[in-house]
Amino acid sequence: MRKLVLAALAASALASPAFAQDEVAPFTGLRAEGVVGYDTMSDGTDSDAGSSDGVTYGGAIGYDVQLGGAVIGAEAELTGSSVDTRADNLLTAGDRLRVDMGRDIYLGGRIGAAITPTTLIYAKGGYTNARIDTVYETPTTTTEISEDMEGYRLGAGAEFKLSNNMYLKGEYRYSNYGSIDGYDIDIDRHQVVAGVGIRF
């Protein structure tokens, strides 16, 4: 009888690590997440008013596939921003340029490595389309333009599993939207965001 009990305990102990490992779902499947973080934009001018800080916020969906230790995926994101920027005396004395960042749509992919069963590090890149409201004023005229600007985004981050289907993430990304027609500026932005998500 004692031998049977000892054999059962030994089998249970050997099975426990495998069971625990099975409890951790791989980085595969559909996911949805909310993100919020620091957002800063620069227009490439020498003016101190040529950059501004704010908050970005929104959500994303994606789908990942884990192949061994490698993870590849696609994602789409929609965010807003509180960032705006001002530049004075840009083209002539007394003029003023105001640029407000609106919604941003991102479509891209990511590739990463599962360095532990619960930790993924990754790099990402793709297309971004930002709505920008521009107001240019001189002492005698005001010109308002609302347009969508296309650009690219590059980034890197880490994802940490909280359970089989919940995770936290931290991410840095850089986006560049080029220049506004007719103005000698180059709009780019840096963002550091945190997110919480569910993998289905």
pLDDT score recorded for residue 169 = 97
In a domain, 34, yes or no: yes
pLDDT score recorded for residue 177 = 85
For 82-101, give the DSSP string.
--EEEEESSSSTT-EEEEEE
Give the chain's end-to-end CA distance (angstroms, integer). Answer: 45
pLDDT score recorded for residue 46 = 53
In a domain, 1, yes or no: no
Which residues form the domain of 154? 27-199
pLDDT score recorded for residue 87 = 77
In a domain, 99, yes or no: yes
Furthest C-alpha separation in the chain: 99
In a domain, 166, yes or no: yes
In a domain, 159, yes or no: yes
For 68-83, give the DSSP string.
TTEEEEEEEEEEEE--
In a domain, 124, yes or no: yes
Where residue 63 sits, what CATH number does that domain have? 2.40.160.20
In a domain, 39, yes or no: yes
Buried b (16+ CB within 10 A) or exposed e, 11-28: eeeeeeeeeeeeeeebbe
Task: Give the C-alpha separation, 21 to 23, whole Å.
Answer: 5
In a domain, 20, yes or no: no
Q: What is the pLDDT along the chain (200 residues), one digit of tens a residue?
A: 444 333 433 444 444 343 344 445 689 999 999 999 999 987 665 555 456 889 999 999 999 999 999 999 999 999 999 988 777 887 788 898 887 888 999 999 999 999 999 999 999 999 999 998 888 898 889 988 888 889 999 999 999 999 989 999 999 999 998 766 555 567 788 999 999 999 99
- The total domain count for the chain is 1
